[in-house]
Copies of this chain bind each other. A is one copy, B any other.
Amino acid sequence: MPQVSDTSQSPRKGAITRQAILDAAVRLASVEGLETISIGRLAEVLQMSKSGVFAHFGSKQDLQLAALDAALHRFVSEAMQPALHQAAGLPRLWGLCDQYLSYLERRVFPGGCFLLATWAEFDSRPGPLRDAAAAAMHTWNDAIERAVISAQEVGHLDTMGDPAQLAFELNALLQAANSAFLLSNDRREFDRARVGIRDRLTRLATAQAPHRPAASSPGDT
C-alpha cells in the first residue's frame, strides 16, 4: 500500500495531466481561438483518448474557462509581475507598458496577446466566457489605471490630466502594437508604440519626475 511511494511517479499524476491538457489548449487556442479547439484534437495532440481529456473537465466550457485562467496567469507573470515590483510612479507605469511590449516581442503566445484575442472572440457573445474574458481585460486595465493614479500621487505626473484618458491612450498604443505587428510582422510597430507612450508620459511629467522615462531609444531605423 504505497502511501508516499517512491516520488518518481504518482504524487499527483492527475494534476500533471491536467496541466498538460491546459498547456496544449492554451497553445492551440492562441492560434485558432478558444471556441475552435475541440476535445478530440486535444486528445490527438496529447496522445490520449477523447474521454481521457474530457474526464478532467466537466464540459467543454469548463475546459475553455480553465484554459483562459491558465493563460491569464501566464499573462500576469510575463507581462505584469516584473513591472509591478518597480517603484511607484513613472518607473512602474513605464515598466508596465514596456513589459507588455516585451511580452508581445517575446511571443509568449504564438497568436499574439491572448487576452486581446479572447476578448475579440467573445466580446459580442454573452455568457461565462465573455464574462471571464472581460474580467481578464479588467485585470490589465485596472493595473494601468492604478499605475497612472499612483504616478500622480507620488508627484511624477501632472494631476491636471484625466487618469482614465491617459490610461485609454496608453492602452490604445499597446493594443495597436499587437494587431499591427501581426499584420505587418514589422518590429518597428513596437518602436511606434514606445514613441507614442514616451511622448504621452514626458508631456505630462512634472519637475519631480525621475529623469523622465528614457527607455530603450528606438533609433531612427
The chain A residues found within 8 Å of chain B, CB to CB, are 30-33, 35-36, 110-112, 116-117, 119-121, 123-125, 134, 137-138, 141, 164-165, 168-169, 171-173, 175-176, 179-180, 182-183, 188-189, 192-193, 195-196
Partner of A165, one of B110, B123, B138, B195: B195
Q: Chain B residues near A183 (CB, 8 Å)?
A: 119, 123, 134, 137-138, 141
State the main secondary structure of chain A at its contact with B.
Answer: helix
Q: Chain B residues near A175 (CB, 8 Å)?
A: 172, 175-176, 179
Q: Are A182 and B31 in contact (CB under 8 A)?
A: no
Bound CA–CA A17/B81 (angstroms): 54
Least CB separation from A175: chain B residue: B176
6 A-B residue pairs with CB within 8 Å? A31-B125, A123-B183, A164-B192, A165-B192, A169-B192, A171-B176
Q: Chain B residues near A124 (CB, 8 Å)?
A: 30-32, 110-112, 117, 182
